[in-house]
């Protein structure tokens, strides 16, 4: 539980996501960090520590990426800087490191950056690198890519409940529509459900039954936030408080787990509700980890929006649509905003911060006061949930 000091986000930075050939890893870090520092109005000399979320797995030659943070500003030289890695939840791992530093009073103000440079590698090379986050000590699993793993989940859903493909297509169409309002999104093209639900030359099968529109893209990008303690927060014009921040890790092997239960995500989000002292219906929006559309469907059920096998209902009745009671992935999600792995968790928090401070532009959820962020590493292995609250003057 949090002590009385509290931890608040007071600034954010975010590069575009996509194929950013002109920018290397260092430049992405510097761009996002400088924007967050300027947005927070903080003197870089007052930053006590810096945390970097970065997966890498051979995607770039920069194996000591935390050292690149110091290129942001001369005042950051000699500040402690650490790289955090937890697969696709590396960004949230970095945020939690910063949170704990503030809570333990080892730091008062921290800078957190998430970054990944992926498009300089071929699709097979990226697929192989990401597969490093799977279990390697069982031959039945060691050769599986993540599209193949989530394809197994979609197949299992069809066997236990019903064919999820039409629902997955509706999720893809929803998130593409939302991305049209996000100028930072990678895939700003509107696709309808019929297109997403059909295999075609433009929408090929990736790992049956997953189609291209069911998969998040290969992306470059970075995001950053500045966090501070309660005592320093009044110095900053815009503040968002962590009401809760939970981390639940499950076993890496798929064997022995019910892949449809999403037990790690369920536990992380339920703990976050309890820690924040809220119920699901108190939330105004959610940003969740839709690395594949089947993941978002299972997260509807894990977060308590629908019973197991009934996730389609919240699409059918409009609950998770942009103008629904609990819009999900107003940013376009990983599916359309993009998924530069180490940046994803920080991006979710940065854009939630903008929602809660009324600066999300065309993505804005009117009057948003409480938001949920859920970021996941691997097949529901590293699970991070945050409840963020607007601080009004």
Of the residues 84, 88, 196, 365, only one is catalytic, namely 88
Quickly tell me which residue has 């947005």 as its tokens: 39
Q: Please tell me which residue in 73, 339, 349, 365 is annotated as part of the active site.
A: 339
339: annotated active-site residue? yes
Is residue 88 among the annotated active site residues?
yes
The residues annotated with a catalytic role in the active site are 88, 339
């Amino acid at each position: 539980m949090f002590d009385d000091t509290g931890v608040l986000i007071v600034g954010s930075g975010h590069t575009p996501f996509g194929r950013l050939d002109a920018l290397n890893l260092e430049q992405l870090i510097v761009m996002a960090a400088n924007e967050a520092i300027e947005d927070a109005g903080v003197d870089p000399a007052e930053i006590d520590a810096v945390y970097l979320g970065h997966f890498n797995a051979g995607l770039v030659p920069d194996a000591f990426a935390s050292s690149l943070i110091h290129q942001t500003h001369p005042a950051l030289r000699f500040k402690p800087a650490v790289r955090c890695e937890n697969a696709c939840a590396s960004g949230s791992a970095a945020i939690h490191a910063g949170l704990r530093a503030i809570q333990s009073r080892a730091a008062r103000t921290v800078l957190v950056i998430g970054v990944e440079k992926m498009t300089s590698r071929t699709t097979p090379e990226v697929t192989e690198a990401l597969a490093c986050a799977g279990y390697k000590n069982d031959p039945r699993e060691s050769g599986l890519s993540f599209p193949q793993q989530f394809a197994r989940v979609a197949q299992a859903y069809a066997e236990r409940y019903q064919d999820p493909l039409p629902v997955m297509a509706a999720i893809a169409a929803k998130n593409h529509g939302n991305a049209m309002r996000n100028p930072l999104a990678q895939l700003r093209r509107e696709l309808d459900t019929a297109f997403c639900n059909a295999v075609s030359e433009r929408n090929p099968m990736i790992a049956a039954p997953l189609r291209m529109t069911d998969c998040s893209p290969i992306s470059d990008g970075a995001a950053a936030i500045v966090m501070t303690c309660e005592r320093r927060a009044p110095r900053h014009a815009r503040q968002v408080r962590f009401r809760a921040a939970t981390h639940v890790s499950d076993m890496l092997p798929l064997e022995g787990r019910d892949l449809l239960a999403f037990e790690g995500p369920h536990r992380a989000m339920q703990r976050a509700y309890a820690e924040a002292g809220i119920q699901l219906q108190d939330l105004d929006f959610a940003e969740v980890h839709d690395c594949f559309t089947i993941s978002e469907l299972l997260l509807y059920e894990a977060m308590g929006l629908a019973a197991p096998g009934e996730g389609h209902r919240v699409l059918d009745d409009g609950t998770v649509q942009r103008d629904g009671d609990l819009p999900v992935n107003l940013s376009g999600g990983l599916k359309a905003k993009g998924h530069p792995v180490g940046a994803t968790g920080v991006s979710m928090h940065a854009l939630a911060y903008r929602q809660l401070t009324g600066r999300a532009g065309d993505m804005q959820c009117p009057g948003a006061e409480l938001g949920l962020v859920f970021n996941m590493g691997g097949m529901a292995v590293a699970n991070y949930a945050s409840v963020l609250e607007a601080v009004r003057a």
